[in-house]
A = this chain, B = another copy of it.
Amino acid sequence: MPDELFDEVLARIRPSAAEEAQMRSVAREAIDKVDAAACAEGLDVYALHVGSTARDTWLKGKKDIDIFLMFPPETPREKLEEDGLRLAKAVSPRYEERYAEHPYLTALYRGLDVDLVPCFRVKDAAHIQSAVDRSPFHNQYVQKNIDAKADQVRLLKQFTRGVGVYGSELRTQGFSGYLCELLVLKYGSFMGVVEHGSGFRRGKVIDIEGHMDRSVEHADALVVIDPVDPKRNVAAALSEQKFCEFVDACRRFLKAPSIGFFFPPPPEPMKKGALEGLLASRGTRLVAITFKTPDIVEDTLYPQLRKAEESVVNLLGRHEFKVYRSDVWSSDRSAVVLEMLVWELPAIERHFGPPLYEREHCEKFIEKYPGAYITSSCRYAVDMPRRYDTANELIRARLTSCGLGKNVAKSVAEGFDIMQNENVLELGPEFAVFLTKFLRAPEN
Contacts and interface: CB of A to CB of B under 8 A. Distances in A.
A378 B251 CA distance: 14
A320 B340 CA distance: 13
Contacts of A356: 201-202, 244, 247-248
Greatest chain B CB density within 10 A among A282, A347, A374 is at: A374
Interface stretch (A24-32, A63-71, A357-365, A425-433): A357-365
A281 interface: yes
A251 B372 CA distance: 14
A322 interface: yes
B320 A322 contact: yes
A383 interface: yes
A392 interface: no
A357 B251 contact: no
Contacts of A345: 283, 341-342
Nearest to A439: B383
Interface string A336-363: 0000011001111010000011010011
A2 interface: no
Interface in A198-237: 198-199, 201-202
B244 A283 contact: no
Contacts of A252: 366
Interface string A264-285: 0000000000000000011110
A442 to B, nearest CB: 6
A304 to B, nearest CB: 19
B201 A251 contact: no
A373 interface: yes
A156 to B, nearest CB: 20
A347 B251 contact: no
Contact of A248 (B201, B240, B348, B374): B374
B378 A202 contact: yes
A244 B322 contact: no
B281 A359 contact: no
A263 interface: no
Contact of A244 (B199, B202, B374): B374
Closest 6 CB pairs of A and B: A283-B346, A283-B347, A241-B376, A244-B374, A284-B346, A201-B357
Given A240-B376, A283-B347, 5 more contacts: A202-B378, A245-B374, A255-B363, A324-B348, A341-B346
23 contacts: A201-B356, A201-B357, A202-B357, A241-B375, A241-B376, A243-B378, A244-B375, A244-B376, A245-B374, A247-B356, A248-B374, A252-B366, A255-B363, A282-B348, A283-B345, A283-B347, A284-B348, A320-B341, A324-B346, A324-B348, A342-B342, A342-B345, A371-B442
